Amino acid sequence: MAAVIAWLEHAPRCRRIAQMWLTAAQVLERAGDTAPSVYAYHKALSCLEL
């Protein structure tokens, strides 16, 4: 997941990247990683604030 998050950090903000952030957030949440999950949810939302 760390590699995915690192890649997403540099990806352009768009709807597709927002979906990827959302998926990452859900995976992290299911794994019990609360703080990184919340961060990923926030990143997903920020991609939609264009």
Angle at 46 (CA atoms; ends 14, 10), nearest 5 degrees: 60
Q: Check residue 49 and give its pLDDT.
A: 82
pLDDT for position 50 = 62
pLDDT at site 7: 97
Per-domain boundaries in the chain: 2-48
pLDDT, one tens digit per residue, over 3-43 is 999 999 999 999 999 999 999 999 999 999 999 999 999 99
Both tokens of 26, joined, read 């859900």
Nearest-angstrom CA–CA distance, 25 and 38:
7
Work out the end-to-end distance of the chain between its first and last CA atoms, rounded to an integer number of angstroms: 26
Backbone angles phi, psi at 36, to 5 degrees: -65, -30
Cβ-contact 3, 36 below 8 angstroms: no
Read off the pTM: 0.91
